[in-house]
């Protein structure tokens, strides 16, 4: 079976009703990113950071995977599929994809601030000041903030190196190291880009841009890949 590696971003969840991160004035749900998604924001105002992620988590409990997520599940019938996602939502999981690597953390998990190995599944949307890990330290969102290391980048690079086909969907490719993953493919690996906008500046030549929304674009692409594989 051929290996397909997918790099997904906020655009795939946009059609489920989750806002993408970057609008033209650099705000994230009306907050400057540095006020809610950096270690210094956490030091300055834990309550604001917790509230920001609580609102996003609450929204996540109210939305559902869309046909873009589902198209990637269907792809598993013919291919060995690995999804590397920058998204912190769990919509790939809920759609039913089997292999998902989260680069930027997971909204439905909380983590100890003294021992990063202590990670907890959350069954409600609220994380508050005073919620502590078993060692008594404040819990924080299990999110990779700007300026923090991305522990899953190494396994992601290994996956991309094994790809026979790469699909990039719904990401502006603005944030590194995630954006650099597209440069890790083997020479000649076809790269399909599904995004309604022009994205990034590619130096690669073997890119096929499907300039459509994730639902429509992925369904078309998956059909085509499955058809080609059964020939």
Q: Which of residues 2-21 bind ligand APR (CB under 6 A)?
A: 9-11, 14-15, 20-21
Q: Long-range CB contacts (< 8 A, 24+ apart) of 93-98?
A: 94/64, 94/65, 94/69, 95/65, 95/69, 95/70, 96/70, 97/69, 97/72, 97/73
104 is catalytic: yes
Tell me how far, at minimum, the Cβ of 79 lies from ligand APR, in Å. Answer: 21
Q: Which of residues 194-213 bind ligand APR (CB under 6 A)?
A: 195-197, 199, 213
Residue 112 engages ligand APR in binding (rule: CB under 6 A): no
Q: Which of 70, 138, 152, 171 binds ligand APR (CB under 6 A)?
A: 171
Smaller CB distance to ligand APR: residue 22 or 46? 22
Residue 67 engages ligand APR in binding (rule: CB under 6 A): no
Active site residue: 31, 104, 142, 203, which one? 104
Residue 90 engages ligand APR in binding (rule: CB under 6 A): no
Smaller CB distance to ligand APR: residue 90 or 195? 195
Q: Which of 86, 138, 152, 189 binds ligand APR (CB under 6 A)?
A: 86
Q: What is the dihedral of CA 17, 69, 208, 221, to 10 degrees?
A: -120
Question: Of 89, 87, 137, whose CA–CA distance to 111 is shortest?
Answer: 137
Span near ligand APR by CB under 6 A; candidates 50-58, 73-81, 133-141, 172-180: 172-180
Q: Which of 170, 185, 189, 191 binds ligand APR (CB under 6 A)?
A: 170
DSSP 110-173: EEESS-TT-EEE-SSS---TT-B-TTSPBEEEEE--TTS--TTHHHHHHHHHT-SEEEEES---
Residue 162 near residue 84 (C-beta atoms within 8 A)? no
Contact residues toward ligand APR (CB under 6 A) are 9-11, 14-15, 20-22, 86, 104, 170-172, 174-175, 195-197, 199, 213-214
Active-site annotation, residues: 104
């Amino acid at each position: 079976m051929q290996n397909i590696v997918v790099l997904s971003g906020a655009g795939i969840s946009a059609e489920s009703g989750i806002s993408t991160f970057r609008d033209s004035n650099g705000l994230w749900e009306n907050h400057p990113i540095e006020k809610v998604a950096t270690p210094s924001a956490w030091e300055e105002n834990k309550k604001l950071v917790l509230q920001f992620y609580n609102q996003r988590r609450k929204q996540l409990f109210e939305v559902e995977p869309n046909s873009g997520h589902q198209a990637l599940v269907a792809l598993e019938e013919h291919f060995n599929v690995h999804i590397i996602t920058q998204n912190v939502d769990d919509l790939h999981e809920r759609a039913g994809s089997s292999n998902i690597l989260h680069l930027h953390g997971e909204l439905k998990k909380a983590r100890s601030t003294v021992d990063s190995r202590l990670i907890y599944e959350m069954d409600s949307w609220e994380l508050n000041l005073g919620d502590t890990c078993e060692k008594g330290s404040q819990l924080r969102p299990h999110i990779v903030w700007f300026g923090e290391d991305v522990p899953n980048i190494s396994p992601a690079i290994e996956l991309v190196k094994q790809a026979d086909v790469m699909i990039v969907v719904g990401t502006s490719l603005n944030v590194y190291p995630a954006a650099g993953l597209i440069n890790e493919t083997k020479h000649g690996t076809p790269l399909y880009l599904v995004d309604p906008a022009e994205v990034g500046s590619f130096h690669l030549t073997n890119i096929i841009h499907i300039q459509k929304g994730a639902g429509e674009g992925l369904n078309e692409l998956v059909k085509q890949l499955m058809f080609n594989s059964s020939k």
